[in-house]
A = this chain, B = another copy of it.
Amino acid sequence: MDNVKLRNQVKEEFMGYLTVHKHRKTPERFAILDHIYSTKGHFDMDSLYKSMIDVNFRVSRATLYNTIDLLLDCGLVVKHQFGANMAKYERTYGNENHDHLICMSCGEVRETKNGDLFTPAQQKKIKKFTVHYYSMYIYGICSKCSHAKKMQLRKLSRTSTSGRDKTGK
């Protein structure tokens, strides 16, 4: 990994944040941040927990949650709540800004580059609100599903098997 530079950078930033807010600089906090910045895509609490155990770094889930809150607060991490029991996080630096295409049929989440829809100038226009970050969720039907749906409808107009579909969460 040659993102050592980035990892040091965010460590410094976190350090500053902790200082300003008079929070303690515990080894756990830095280890967690470092783990996160060794990952590239989305991650959830469970995978983070396991990845830390894998490297023989013992942390409790409680600490993980505490630390993530701090990282969210200082903007080093972003949280996506895709469903009631599906929260995903991702680091903010070293990741390109992207939108999320969520298929309403199969629930698949695809990332797509955005053309910086929401410019800093626009962000400032919002009254009485300090923007930290934003997420764009685009809901629709992916090509796989729109094809499957056509097939299904064709079939239904002939047969009568319905079957409940619980994928749309």
Are B19 and A72 neighbours in the complex by a CB distance under 8 Å? Answer: no
In A117-157, the 8 Å CB interface with B consists of 117-118, 122-123, 126, 128-143, 146, 153, 156
Residues of B within 8 A of A168 (CB): 69, 72-73
- Within 8 Å of chain B (Cβ to Cβ): is A94? no
- Within 8 Å of chain B (Cβ to Cβ): is A8? no
- Within 8 Å of chain B (Cβ to Cβ): is A87? yes
CA distance A131 to B135 in the complex (A): 16
* A interface residue count range (under 10 / 10 to 19 / 20 to 34 / 35 or more): 35 or more
- Within 8 Å of chain B (Cβ to Cβ): is A27? no
Dominant secondary structure at the A interface:
mixed
Most chain B CB within 10 A, of A82, A138, A143, is at: A138
Known contacts A122-B115, A130-B146; is-contact A72 B104 (Cβ 8 Å): yes
Are B139 and A78 neighbours in the complex by a CB distance under 8 Å? Answer: yes
CA distance A136 to B122 in the complex (A): 13
* A153-169 near B? 1/0 per residue, CB < 8 Å: 10010001010111011
- Within 8 Å of chain B (Cβ to Cβ): is A112? yes
- Within 8 Å of chain B (Cβ to Cβ): is A64? no
Nearest-neighbor residue (CB-CB) of A143 within chain B: B128
In A45-88, the 8 Å CB interface with B consists of 69, 72-73, 75, 78, 81-85, 87
Nearest-neighbor residue (CB-CB) of A147 within chain B: B128
Query: Which A-B residue pairs are the 8 nearest by beta carbons?
Result: A128-B143, A22-B162, A134-B138, A131-B140, A81-B81, A132-B140, A117-B117, A135-B137
